[in-house]
Amino acid sequence: MNSYTFSVLFIVFLGITVSLQFWLSSRQLRHVSQHRAAVPAEFSEKIGLDAHQKAADYTIAKTKFGLLALFFSVLVLLAFTLFGGLQLLAVTLYKWLGDGMVYQLGLIAAFALISGAVDLPFDLYRQFVLEEKFGFNKMTLKLFFSDMIKGSLIGAAIGLPLVWVVITLMDKSGDLWWLYAWLVWSGFQLLMMLIFPTWIAPMFNKFTPLADDSLRARIESLMSRVGFASSGLFVMDGSKRSAHGNAYFSGFGKTKRIVFFDTLIARLAPQEVEAVLAHELGHFKLKHIVKRMVVMFAVSLGFLALLGYLKQQVWFFTGLGVDPILFASSNNAMALILFMLTLPVFTFVLSPLTSISSRKHEFEADAFAVKHTNANDLVSALVKLYEDNASTLTPDPVHSAFYDSHPPASIRIAHLHQQAKLA
């Protein structure tokens, strides 16, 4: 491979990925508009025309905004790579900081800051125009910026030492650096799972023990029926930022916490909360979470091995607009940046694969919930959540196969009714 061939390959894949995304979005826009006039028959008794049309308008607005963001992100990607942005940034910092670790960490930090600044107008628009217009935004500008500053500081406090370790391994530990880096990365992921719920999440949200005694009793009975031990049931003040509702649980081993968004508790009846939780517990009991982690570790090992090869190829740098000869022995941070920046261009076509396995898990967790609670409760909870989140009931099937981790509403609910009959 030479530098020119790799540039061409990059442009070809970028062209494929962008056209594919553009095509998927236009399919989605067409499909949702075509079904806007009437509520699908199977939902006509549960969802009003107003709510259905709000969901269509919200989906259309998000998809159109996504197209604009896509167009812009391609420009930014090209500006960083082929048009020489990263090269210019690196030369500037290298002159200033010289060869070595300080330059490499500086390059990563500068790249992260610039990317964040470039994304900022889009994030602001998404939150304060788009979400606001449909009544989902509950954030103030002050909260938005305090989140941003807090997030950046925590990101730097955790991220820079991690990057320092990885770059040191790349610099000094020989040809198998990627294997050591993988061990460090995997350990880091596990550590984050351990400290995130108890140390980091509380810096952004308030977690209060679930106060409703009858709901608590109901949930505890469900947990003992399915054999699940948790270190606590918490309600999170999600309504501080958004009207979207959710339930999740986090941590592992003895630190597993079940967390409900306050918006979810306020909206669902107790038996519906129970059904939603049974679905989440299904993911745990059926080992979906462990399986997902194993896949994630295997994939990151593969990618790190690939990076181990790429970082030794001059064409990998020159083909993306960077001349590695200029930076003596300090090219590893640049290799990391180029890799993370361009990887999605080459992997987007594979996204249906993750959707397929994720949907399989969703169906299994639904079946688990039906077995331990009531299918009708889960259906009515899902319908409320679709309505409250203005999720479209009529997504384009191909768009959905690329982007949605969950099956489309009608298919999922049809499955649930079928499960209920079998049970």
Q: Which residues bind Zn ion (CB under 5 A)?
A: 362, 365
Token code pair at residue 214: 């009858």
Active-site pick, 280, 362, 377, 396: 280
Reference 346, options 3, 6, 2, 1; nearest CA is: 6
Sign of CA dihedral 411, 415, 418, 420: negative
At residue 234, what are phi and psi to the nearest 5 degrees?
Answer: -125, 150
Cα 10 from chain centroid (whole Å): 24
SS3 state at 303 = helix
* 366 among known catalytic residues: yes
The torsion of the CA quartet 222, 223, 224, 230, rounded to 10 degrees, works out to -160
Reference 390, options 41, 55, 6; nearest CA is: 55
Token code pair at residue 124: 């602001």
d(CA 73, CA 179): 32
Q: Which is nearer to Zn ion, 365 or 409 (CB)?
A: 365
b/e code 40-54 from CB counts within 10 Å (16+ = b): eeebeebbeeebbee
Q: Minimum Å distance from CB 282 to Zn ion?
A: 8
Is the Cβ–Cβ distance between 241 and 138 less than 8 Å? yes
* 274 among known catalytic residues: no
- Active-site residue set: 280, 366
